[in-house]
Amino acid sequence: MEKQIGQTQLILKIGDITREEVDAIVNAANSTLLGGGGVDGAIHRAGGPEILEECRKIRDKQGGCPTGEAVATTAGRLHARYVIHTVGPVWHGGGHDEDRLLASCYRNSLALASQLKCRSVAFPSISTGAYGFPIERASQIAVRTISQEVPALDLTEVRLVLFSSADFEVYTRATTRS
């Protein structure tokens, strides 16, 4: 599914984000930046040890990545120039600033991609796996934030790469309604 937002094309697809050919792939990381399961594990496995080495350097310098923020590394063997690691909020029922923090992940990742002169960026569904964020609500925040941010940025393409057809349907509904 595709939607034009100003000069940027928003593309929703089902797939494995580690196979995307884009300037930047966004990782749903944790604040240690030392890897984990889910999409984080897949990105480090496919990209190789170079990504973790750079994550360690960032940790040494700034002590990890706070929730809602984003840091960039090279992408190792992936078909991308950068991996942007962002830390989504853990779902604690919705009363702990989860919505704002999730929006910050999309906003800060897009801003960082833009600073790095990326033209295309691929996102997974941040926080909706191990971190338990309800996907309907997360999809609305993702689509709304991307739509708000891209008009000010020089991006040709933003992809949301969903890991199942059920997730794809949820994001498609959020995009159609926005």
DSSP secondary-structure letter at 19? G
Judged by CB under 6 A, does residue 30 bind ligand AR6?
A: yes
Window contacting ligand AR6 (CB under 6 A); options: 4-12, 30-38, 56-64, 151-159: 30-38
Least Å distance, CB 107 to ligand AR6, is: 16
How many residues bind ligand AR6, per CB under 6 A? 24
Chain residues 100-159 in contact with ligand AR6, contact rule CB under 6 A: 124-131
- Kindly tell me which of 53 and 154 has the beta carbon lying closer to ligand AR6: 53
Quick count: other Cβ atoms within 10 Å of Cβ 117? 9
Distances in whole angstroms, Cα of residue 173 to Cα of each of 5, 61, 92, 114, 143:
16, 41, 25, 27, 10
* From 37, 48, 49, 134, residue interacting with ligand AR6 (rule: CB under 6 A): 37
* From 5, 10, 12, 17, residue interacting with ligand AR6 (rule: CB under 6 A): 17
Please state, in angstroms and rounded to a whole number, the distance separating the CA atoms of residues 155 and 115: 11
Please state, in angstroms and rounded to a whole number, the distance separating the CA atoms of residues 46 and 135: 25
Quick count: other Cβ atoms within 10 Å of Cβ 77? 13
Give the residues lining the site for ligand AR6 (CB under 6 A): 16-18, 28-30, 36-40, 42, 88, 124-131, 161, 163, 167
